[in-house]
Amino acid sequence: MMEMVWQRAAQMLALVRPYLRVLLLPAGAYTLYRLIPALIPGPQHQSKLVVRNRTVLITGASSGLGRELAIKFYREGAKLILTARSIDKLKELCEELKQMQDVENENEPVYEYLDICDANGFNEIVSLAKQQPIDVLVNNAGLSMRGTCKDTSMQVYRQVRLLTPEISILICIVFGCLLHIICASS
């Protein structure tokens, strides 16, 4: 049985062999056409999002991804509003950003305390947005509770599970208000 399969494959290859060059030449040319530009550095590889002198609000900016995004946006010339629960870490990040030697950004980063679990904390962000429209929102804040599976109570699991979607909804509501404020002031 297997011998018949191999014989059939050999017959098909013999039929196709004269046409392989004709088929592979365009495929190879197309591959080179797509591959060479990808290897050459240039403006086609730059970010499409231009943030120079645009206001970027980052929630959860004190550590991790939020911190790295703050550095990236600052390098690109953005006006930063950084929020988190840890004021000390935010202040330290802002100082670090100001001291960057290789960055041409005349915009001074601003930091504000924001606890996403507290709905009233968003009022400060709304007042900031009234003064300065927000162009980009990075909703990076989240809630986590550290502990082993054995030691963590069911109440903590529920709080984390239920609060995460609520945070997203609350931010959408607040930024819906921000859009309304921005449109009204234009």
47-95 pLDDT, tens digit each: 677 888 888 989 889 988 999 999 999 999 999 999 888 999 999 999 9
Structural contact between residues 94 and 120, judged by C-beta atoms closer than 8 angstroms: no
Q: Which of 28-37, 57-66, 151-160 has the highest mean pLDDT?
A: 57-66
Is pTM beyond 0.95? Reply is no
Confidence of residue 119 (pLDDT cuts 50, 70, 90): low
Strands of 55-59's sheet, edge to edge? 110-113, 79-84, 55-59, 136-139
Average pLDDT, the chain: 78
Identify the structural domains of the chain with CATH numbers, from first to last.
2-45 (no CATH), 55-185 (3.40.50.720)
